[in-house]
Structure formats: C-alpha cells, structure tokens
Structure 1
C-alpha cells in the first residue's frame, strides 16, 4: 500500500495519471442502553464519520431489564456499519471492533439464534435469590478473595443460574452464551470468545487474580457447561465471514477484534490506561474506572481485569445520576436544560442547606442497596427550582467523593482524573464535582465515547498503530476552588450521615412500593 496521502500512478491514454490514495480507516461500534453508535476513524484518531441508531430496552416485569439481541444488537450494528461504509469512500477498512453494555446474559442455540431476550447488566435484578444462594454455598469471603467483589446484580453467574432454573427450554449446557458485543463478534467472525474484562464480571465463574476461568466453581453450578475462549479486548479474533459481509457492508475478511464492555472502551478512548488514571463517566448513571498496578480487593468496589493484557482495574457505578436532571426538568415544568443550569449556577454552594441522596433507583457503589431510595433533606418554602437542580448535582458529587475515598483507601489517590460523557457539557456539574472532591479533571477533545475506544482497539489489534497509541487530547482542565471545597465539607458530612440514619425507614417505604 502507498503511504497515507501519497499518490499512485497509472497509464491513461499514453500519459501518466496520478490518483490520490486515502489512508486506511477503522470502524468502532458501541451497543449502548439507548442506542448503537459507530465511528469511522483514521490511524491518527481523526473522525471521518459517525452515526447512531436508537433502540429501547424492555422492562417486562419489575426488576427485569432486557433487549432483543437480533433487533437491538445485530440489526443496530449492521445499520451502523452500512452507513459508515457509505462514508468510507476508497479507504481500506483495516479492522472493526465492537463494545457494548454488559455483562449481559444471552444463550444461543447451535445455529447462533438467541433462545431468549438478552438479560442486561446490573439494572436487571431478577436473580437476587441466586445471588444469596451462590454466596452461601461458596462463602462471601471466598468470592471476594477470588473474584475481587461481592456478588451483586452486576454479576452474570447468578443470572445464568436463574435462567437454568426458570427457562429450561432456553438451556443446553453445550450452547454458547454471550454478552452484547460477543454475540456480534460470533455473528461477524464465527468465533465464540469473551474478553478478560467482560469475563471478570461473570462472577463467580472467573478468577480475577489468576485471570482465568474458575472451572471448579463453574462445574459446581453448571455441570458440563461450555466456556468461551478468553482473549484481550484489542486482540484480533477472526475475520468477517461472507454472510456477515453481505449483512453489514463490511469487506469480507476484514479483521475483527474482541472488544469489551462499554465503560472500559470509553476509558480506553480517554487515555485512562496507566496505573493511577481514573475515568469519571458522566451519563444517565455515573461510572468510574481506575487502573491499578496489581490485583486489589476493596469492599464496595468492583475489581476487574482491565483492557491492556494482564492489567487490573477498580470500578464503581452509581444507579442514577444524569437521569435525575431529567426528573427535575419534568417535575418542575419542563424548563430547558440551559435555564436550569443558569438558575442552579446562581445558587450558592451547599444549596442553602438542601441535601439530596440520589438513590432514586436503589444504589450500587459503595452501599449496594437495591432498596435504597432518594431523600431530600432540609427543604423549606424558600427553596426554588434552581436549588433542587443544584442539590441533585451536589448529591451526585458527594456520592462520587465517597467512591473516591474508597478508591484512595484501596489503591492510593488517583494521579489523573479524566471526565467523559454528555454530563461534561455546560461546565457546572464538573465544577461542582471538582470542588467537592478537590480533584482536577481533564476533559478530552473527543467525547464520542466507547465507539471511539473500540476504533482505537481495532487500530491497535491490526497493527495499524503501536499498542501505546493514545488518541485522547485534553482541551480543558477543571480545577477545584479551595474555598468552595471548605463549604462542601460540612454538607458532605451530612450526606454521609443521612443514609444510615434513614435506611430502615426507606426500606419500609420500598416494601410499600412493592419494589423490594
């Protein structure tokens, strides 16, 4: 191939004609909760094209969260790749990689057809009885030591056990089982794989310290069940098959990378790849990933395998974050987001003594309490819409500080914090978080997210760029205000005292709501 930007000569009518040769490109796709997004990028990280296809998860029963794998995972992927290919022009597609929500649980039959709707990650709470049973049989301490975290609704193992017991027609030990992106990989390349990062959230089936399947525990609960081949996210696992090429528009034989869960792909896109790097992902939920130098166990956090071969991370997730701003917006009459930010900016730090516990859908890290509920403390008649909006931002920031304190205790303070996601826009939320935590936040130029990280994995996995290549470029650093941090110290203490003080009462209310 001619160097990028060079020309190639051909003979035309007795004279030499020079034609431009475009540099190759990669495709990254991410299957999200609300949409599938795709990016076409060059080896330097320049974005050639992006596209998006919306979809919706299904909530068929209280505590259940599902998606149709054929429609939402595969069809969304093919629509995105076809549109990106239309923008590729004469560029060679050097590789493709897909990330996605996870861990999900999906069984497919021998022909690869889904046997049931895909069961989603931690927001699906159907397997609470199986979590309790597995914990009792294996021992909480043994699970924590081997898997790096307590069993929770995020774990795939209990959902597999629930499926085995409650949907026997969908169960065959020889069948393949998938997360969202691995289902697409098998459709693309005919390879049944799972990346180490995703596998490390399939507790208790994976030994996080050894970075291998826990075969003995898998056999104890699922005799004869097959386990997928383990690979690393940027590893090339196969190539696009003829049928997949026809469906997706991708050239037959295009290299396919393993991919990983979306939050880790987003961290990869933002340059969170060295020990001490921490990603704050501002979205409808808040998610945090910190790279650690070695396997570390910390209560209230998830220890997982990372993206780079042999690496480990500590992770945490809050159940509701940015979604609360939409709640306030609807509750108070549908004012524009800009109006609410302006009103909240005029409210002093601490929201004139109003504190919010943002547990409107239970809470994950660090309390892991599905029966937790939202609390508004200190309301008076003088509080206005702007106070409530700011107090929601501050409550989320207090939750972030709680998690960062846990990360600090487990692995030392973060050396660099990178803020990504839609919530970084506007500036108020990130400024409040920096003031509450005392940490500066680096905001990268590209906030496309996980699909951009998947594109970088494709470039690395094909050898198009060296493994250490980083596409992230900081365009803003949000610095904390020491004076404001002192103001927040008192309201943060109130926040940490509110949950234990109200836990019994909100658990009673949760039971009355019928959403235990």
Structure 2
C-alpha cells in the first residue's frame, strides 16, 4: 500500500517529561521514534519510501515524497506531546545523489545506491583510484556520487546546464528543516568527494567531477547542535518553536553506535545487504592494493570502518520467492513465517551443507571482492542434496564473505572480540549461529537490534544535550544485550575447511564471470 503509516506506542506518554525525536530515512522505509529522557522507546511511526524506476537500471526516490514522509512520521510519533519535544536527530542512507537548478527546483531525483546506471564509470578513475581511496576512504566502486556525476557528464549532458547544486538527500532534508543546506561529515564521507584527512571537500575529487565547492552543501559535525527547526515546519510537524536540530550521521554509523560497537566490539547489519563495521578513533584504510574496506566518518570523532555485501537478506527473499514455494505454502496454512520454516529446514542440514557451496552474488559484489560481473553460483550439487541444503549453503555463503571482511579488518590492526547484530536477519538464531561459527567470534543479540539506528541517533542527541558523557559511555549504558552466541569449536573446524575451498573456487570463477559478461550473458 503506497504511503502507509504505522504507529504504535510501547509505553504511556506523559506531558510531564521531555522527549526527543529521531528519524531514520532508509531505502524502503522512514522510521521516526520518540524517546523519553531515559532512552526508552515511547512511540514508533514508519512510512513506506517508494522507489521509482523510470528507465532500465534506475532506482530513484522523489525528494518531496521523502520529505512528506519525514513530516508525517514525526507528526504521528509525537502526537499529544509535540510541545514537550526538545530535539530532533536525523540519519539517511548513503551514496544518494540529486540535483537542483538555480531556482531550487529538483532537476534530478535521488539516484539511490541501488541505481546501476553509473556502473562502469568507475573505470575512469583507474589511474587515480588508489590516490582517491587514500584521500576519501572510498574504494573504486560505482555506487558513489562522484561516479554518478561522471555518468551525468558522459551520458546526460542535457541535464548539466540546468544543474546548479548537487545534494545527497541529508542536506536537502536539512534545508527543508532549517532553511539552509548543510551535510554532516558522515554522509559527506560516503560521496567519494570528501577528504577524510582534513574533513573538507577534496580538491582532486571535485576537479575530476568538474564540480565547484559552491555547488555543494557546507559539511558540519553531526554530533553538534546546528540550528532550530523553522517555526512553520515545526508547526506542520506538530511541534513547538525552538526544537533543536542535530544533523546526525548516516544510517549504518547510527546503527553501530546504537549497538555500542566501539573498540573490539563490531557491528553486523543483516538487512537487505550485510555490513560488518568497526568504530575507530581514526580512519583506517586497507594497506592491501585490493582496497577491501571503506573508512567513513561516523560522529563525534569516531569512524566507521568495514565492508558491505550487495547480497544479504535480499538473497533469502529471492530463495523464498523461487525455491521455497512449498515452505511458503506451508507457512500460509500454519501461520508460521516462511523464513522461519526455511530456517527450520536448513537447521536439519549439517554444517558445510554436505559439500554444497553457494556463491551469493545475485547482484554482483562490491566487498570484499570488487566484482560487478560476479553471478550467483552453486558448486557441488549432487542427487543427495535437497533444497534445504541450498537454504543452508546460502546462509553459509554470506558467512564466508563476512569472514573475508573480518580478516581484512584484522590484517589492518582492528581486533575483533565480539560482534553485535542488528537488522531483520538477526531474528534468525540459526543464521547467527552459522555466522558465529564461520567467523569464530561471539555474536550478541541486542534488545533493540531493529531500532538500533534510531537508538544511535538518540545517543548522539544525548551527547549534544549532556556534554559530560562520551558517546561510547552513553551507548554502552543504553544498549542491552539479550544473549550471546559463542562459536562451536567442532562446527568452526568444519567451516574452516570449507571457507578455504570457497575462497579458492571464487578466484577460479572470476575469469568465468568476466567471460560471461563479455558474452553479454
């Protein structure tokens, strides 16, 4: 249903206490959560973000629609206590690019990170890709706004004369809130245009994009009070005058903060994609020429370092809709989730899936193997295997790729003692068990895993409002661990064997993937 809003309360609201509101604008939903002063979730409101596909490989958001969703969600989440809301903090997804003309009219909708039209343009940076990586923390991948700008210059020159300003969604929303465009360091650091060493727009990247600094928003620290929300906007949202705006950060960094993933505790997001991140006190780059990890600014002097898979929960959705039709039918009869039934069947298969390997590259891959030509591949299929082996092998395939990212982080000096999990995939105890055994690291299930991004925004707000406590201390005081999954030595030994085989076979498959791409298959 288009534009739906869901809202629910977890505890009684009171007009005797103050509240803050956090807003997370994701690819598919906008979520606003009202917190009380103690960090308790009071009310949640979500709204669907519709993706437009006006041409092949396009995946756009209409900026005005996203803005309306922000207004609706805030108004719904704060109803009845709008006068007691003191602050708002915001996160959005990364790598979006939009453009406006000199009158402030949108001439390019938000090209999201799902937009594939710029694929291949990253090759234009081949001679400078290491230098750009060391300056911006962004490996040579086509999802970044710099590459999208090159695509516009080479494929959509009809738009260039109309473009006066480039934006990355967060700055557009901030402009609507306070009247001026600013972008936090976190979002800026995911554009491939931002210098991570001096926290300014990078001269070389701007030169490559043929963009002037005046065409971009002013970068600011996301963990500081920026301004107050304009009076008429506050009224539209059901708030009073004087609500402060804290810019926040990008959604992934907010999630890592909400999961208290500091120092040797990492964060794992099992959403549509899968992402493994560490929060560090400085940007850490991969010394390996493969540039297997990113380094983005998080907030308050912390950096988010890690790698993101193209394929995560989206792979399970594909399995459900194609191979698991029987499980889906059973789930409709029993009321049990199709995913839960798939997990139940996968749990009957032993670790290693009896020699079946699933390379989960249905959407190519960006980390840890930068391979847009990679294809989903099943190796080792025999008559003795069932679709349940395929279910488990797919879960294990994601785990093997996360292991490659973990090893890349460790090779660059990041110690991993435990991993806190968030996202919808964290509901599956089996998947967490498999990943723990493959990574040989304890996995932590947290009480607020699916709202971790909003909790991270609350932590940033509290850091601004109460400067006496560090961001790390605030997050650790609010994130409550539910249970810990320790790796099983026997299963880890089995997975160690198959992991080495998985990596070796992938290297052998690369030439086949490239050949298929040349044949336009």
Match of 2:38 among 41, 44, 65: 44
| Aligned-partner Cα distance in 2 for 1:380–1:56 | 41
Shift in CA distance, 165/465, structure 1 to aligned 2, threshold 3 Å: farther
Match of 1:361 among 360, 363, 366: 363
Structure-2 residue corresponding to 1:10 = none
Question: Alpha-carbon deviations, 1:383-408, whole Å to 9, x = none?
Answer: 11221111110010011101101111
Shift in CA distance, 479/388, structure 1 to aligned 2, threshold 3 Å: same
Asked if 2 retains the 8 angstrom alpha-carbon contact of 1:207 and 1:214, the reply is yes
Asked if 2 retains the 8 angstrom alpha-carbon contact of 1:270 and 1:472, the reply is yes
Q: Note the C-alpha offset of 1:207.
A: 1.5
Match of 2:98 among 74, 84, 106: 106
Match of 2:112 among 120, 130, 134: 120
Q: Note the C-alpha offset of 1:158.
A: 1.7
Please give the TM-score of this superposition, normalised by the length of structure 2. 0.88
Asked if 1 retains the 8 angstrom alpha-carbon contact of 2:296 and 2:303, the reply is yes
Q: Note the C-alpha offset of 1:501.
A: 1.1
Shift in CA distance, 239/109, structure 1 to aligned 2, threshold 3 Å: farther
Are residue 32 (structure 1) and residue 26 (structure 2) matched?
A: yes
Question: Alpha-carbon deviations, 1:146-171, whole Å to 9, x = none?
Answer: 22343212321121232345445644
Are residue 304 (structure 1) and residue 295 (structure 2) matched?
A: yes
Q: Note the C-alpha offset of 1:289.
A: 1.4
Question: Alpha-carbon deviations, 1:365-394, whole Å to 9, x = none?
Answer: 111111100110111122112211111100
Q: Note the C-alpha offset of 1:220.
A: 5.2
Structure-2 residue corresponding to 1:66 = 60
Question: Alpha-carbon deviations, 1:392-427, whole Å to 9, x = none?
Answer: 100100111011011110123223311111111130
Structure-2 residue corresponding to 1:7 = none
Match of 1:289 among 245, 256, 277: 277
Q: Note the C-alpha offset of 1:39.
A: 0.4
Measured on the aligned residues, the alpha-carbon RMSD in Å equals 2.2
Structure-2 residue corresponding to 1:443 = 445
Structure-1 residue corresponding to 2:344 = 342
- Moved runs in structure 1, 4+ residues, more than 6 A? none
Are residue 189 (structure 1) and residue 161 (structure 2) matched?
A: no
Structure-1 residue corresponding to 2:406 = 404
| Aligned-partner Cα distance in 2 for 1:217–1:386 | 48
Structure-1 residue corresponding to 2:460 = 457
| Aligned-partner Cα distance in 2 for 1:329–1:148 | 36
Match of 1:422 among 399, 421, 424: 424
SS in 2 for 1:28: strand
Higher relative contact order (CA 8 A, sep 6+): 1
Shift in CA distance, 178/462, structure 1 to aligned 2, threshold 3 Å: farther
| Structure index of larger Rg | 1
Shift in CA distance, 112/80, structure 1 to aligned 2, threshold 3 Å: farther
Structure-2 residue corresponding to 1:132 = 123
| Aligned-partner Cα distance in 2 for 1:117–1:308 | 27
Asked if 1 retains the 8 angstrom alpha-carbon contact of 2:26 and 2:93, the reply is yes
Asked if 2 retains the 8 angstrom alpha-carbon contact of 1:149 and 1:301, the reply is no
| Aligned-partner Cα distance in 2 for 1:474–1:32 | 25
SS in 2 for 1:443: strand
| Aligned-partner Cα distance in 2 for 1:170–1:240 | 32
| Aligned-partner Cα distance in 2 for 1:175–1:456 | 36
Asked if 1 retains the 8 angstrom alpha-carbon contact of 2:229 and 2:245, the reply is yes
| Aligned-partner Cα distance in 1 for 2:102–2:459 | 32
Question: Alpha-carbon deviations, 1:271-325, whole Å to 9, x = none?
Answer: 12x3333110011110121123433220433432432333333121101111111
1:261-276 equivalent positions in 2, closer than 5 A: 261-272=250-261, 274-276=262-264
Are residue 242 (structure 1) and residue 231 (structure 2) matched?
A: yes
Asked if 2 retains the 8 angstrom alpha-carbon contact of 1:112 and 1:187, the reply is no
Asked if 1 retains the 8 angstrom alpha-carbon contact of 2:281 and 2:301, the reply is no
Are residue 150 (structure 1) and residue 139 (structure 2) matched?
A: yes
Match of 2:317 among 318, 326, 332: 326
Are residue 215 (structure 1) and residue 209 (structure 2) matched?
A: no
Structure-2 residue corresponding to 1:79 = 72
Structure-1 residue corresponding to 2:504 = 497
Structure-1 residue corresponding to 2:87 = 95
Asked if 2 retains the 8 angstrom alpha-carbon contact of 1:124 and 1:153, the reply is no
| Aligned-partner Cα distance in 1 for 2:69–2:434 | 36
- Structure 1 residue runs of 5 or longer lacking an equivalent are 1-19
Structure-1 residue corresponding to 2:130 = 141
| Aligned-partner Cα distance in 2 for 1:394–1:229 | 43
- Structure 2 residue runs of 5 or longer lacking an equivalent are 1-13, 328-337
Please give the TM-score of this superposition, normalised by the length of structure 1. 0.89
Number of aligned pairs? 488
| Aligned-partner Cα distance in 1 for 2:448–2:143 | 28
Structure-1 residue corresponding to 2:484 = 477
Mean Cα deviation higher: 400-409 or 256-265: 256-265
SS in 2 for 1:339: helix
